[in-house]
Amino acid sequence: MQPDTRTRPLQERDITLLWALRSPCSFGCPHCYFGELADDKIGPPKEVGLLSHIPVRDVERAELEAFARTLADSPVERVVLAGGEPLDWLPTLSVIKTIKEAGCEVVIATNGVPLTRPGIARTLVELGIDGVSVSLDSADAAVNDRLRPSRSGRAGHREVLAGIRTLLDERGQGPGPRVGIYTVVIRARPQEITNVARLAAEIGVDYYVPQPISLPPGHKLFTERCHTAADAPAVEQELLRLEQDPGGLTLPGPTYVRQFLDSIATQDSGRVERCFGGAQLFFVQPDGTVWDCPSDRRIAATPPSARRTIVGADAKTLFDGRPACTDCSHFSRDCVNMTPLVLGMPSFLGRVGS
Ligand SMILES: C[S@@+](CC[C@H](N)C(=O)[O-])C[C@H]1O[C@@H](n2cnc3c(N)ncnc32)[C@H](O)[C@@H]1O
């Protein structure tokens, strides 16, 4: 099938912008897309597209606020703020206000600990933020804190749960935000898929996303953590158990289980017909670079002529001429991690029946 190269009418508002706002994070997860601080001691990686927790190239606040203002009157429907840790940088609250005023939905991806700080959860509720996705990789505190260690050693599972509870309390009977948990699933612990779901349901969380760990083959944790085809049956069993008994949680759509299993069965790239990357999804790095999606394979295949930036740009012009969909030959675990952001979010946020 040929890609649909017709461009979208400008007035259609259907883009999800995944915006990694800042580089630093108080957690030092060894599997993180941003790499480990210790590895970047001599400076952030020089390769285009590679991320680092060292913020030397992060866009100035005034520049990113200027871009955020241009989201009004643009085809961007939803902005998912991530990083790094977006809530460790106080101006993020002002950026959220600007994006809301531009008429976009705002979802924030956080390690959860900032939600325990005085006033943060309350302010998010007051700003009308639409969704808060909190990362938690195990229902077991010790396991989670080994997989997701804070750099100070002083925050972990307990604080993450306290942060979620603070936010749910602040929301009270109000309409929002919807609150979700994201779990990175590793090959040794398929049981976390249903264990974390049970915990999420007990706490009163609204949506839940188990996602496959995605690491390049050269990564030091690749063999230990990344699934192979042999791991698929155990993962399938857990995903199907979750689907049969979601415990009131909203889950990613019906095709998610198959997509998850397809992705972990191989390291080869596959073809994605009618891909939303570069059509309804774009990724902005902390240095302002705009990509079709965060897939390392797709970034590596992007010609220099196609690189763009939010610095000095306006969103209407930036996304003018985007196609209705793209034809991508880089299917990988990264695609699975993007599907809930684009296709799952309307039901996570209660915009459609789940
Ligand atoms: C990079 S974090 C940034 C937002 C925030 N600091 C947090 O901890 O959620 C965004 C999400 O990416 C996930 N993630 C990081 N590295 C990953 C990897 N190699 N494979 C799959 N997911 C990953 C994290 O667990 C988290 O849910």
* Distance from the alpha carbon of residue 131 to the mean position of ligand 1, in angstroms: 16
Q: Provide the number of structural domains found in the chain.
A: 1
Q: How far is the CA of 33 from the centre of ligand 1 (A)?
A: 7
Res. 354: pLDDT tops 50: no
Contact 134, 164 (CB under 8 A): yes
Res. 11 pLDDT band, cuts 50 70 90: low
Q: pLDDT by residue (tens digit) across 293-345?
A: 999 999 999 999 988 999 999 999 999 989 999 999 999 999 999 999 999 99
What's this model's pTM, rounded to 2 decimal places?
0.95
25 lines ligand 1 (CB under 6 A): yes
Angle at which helices 120-127 and 157-171 cross, to 10°: 40
Cβ atoms 327, 2 nearer than 8 A? yes
Tokens representing residue 59 in the block: 């866009």
Q: Half-sphere exposure of 78 toward its Cβ, with a 13 Å CA cutoff?
A: 23
Q: Is 353 a member of any domain?
A: no
Structural domain includes residue 8 = no
Question: In testing the pocket of ligand 1, which one of 108, 135, 145 has its CB within 8 Å of the most ligand atoms?
Answer: 135
Of 31, 236, 231, the closest CA to residue 137 belongs to 31
Tell me the C-alpha to C-alpha distance, in Å, between residue 305 and each of 55, 239, 301.
25, 41, 11
DSSP states along 266-322: -SS-EEEEEE-BTTTEEEE-TT-EEES-S-HHHHHTS-GGG-EESTT--HHHHTTT-
Domain assignment of residue 9, yes or no: no
Mean per-residue pLDDT for 219-224?
95
The amino acid present at 306, given as its one-letter code, is A
In a domain, 1, yes or no: no
The pick from 211, 222, 225, 332 for probing ligand 1's pocket by mutation, whose C-beta has the most ligand atoms within 8 angstroms, reads 211
Residue 1 alpha carbon to ligand 1 centre in Å? 33
Nearest CA to ligand 1 atom 8: 111
Q: Is the CB of 182 under 6 A from ligand 1?
A: yes
pLDDT tens-digit series, residues 85-137? 999 999 999 999 999 999 999 999 999 999 999 999 999 999 999 999 999 99
- Asked if residue 175 belongs to a domain, the reply is yes
CATH number of the structural domain spanning residue 316: 3.20.20.70
Q: Which domain holds residue 284?
A: 15-348
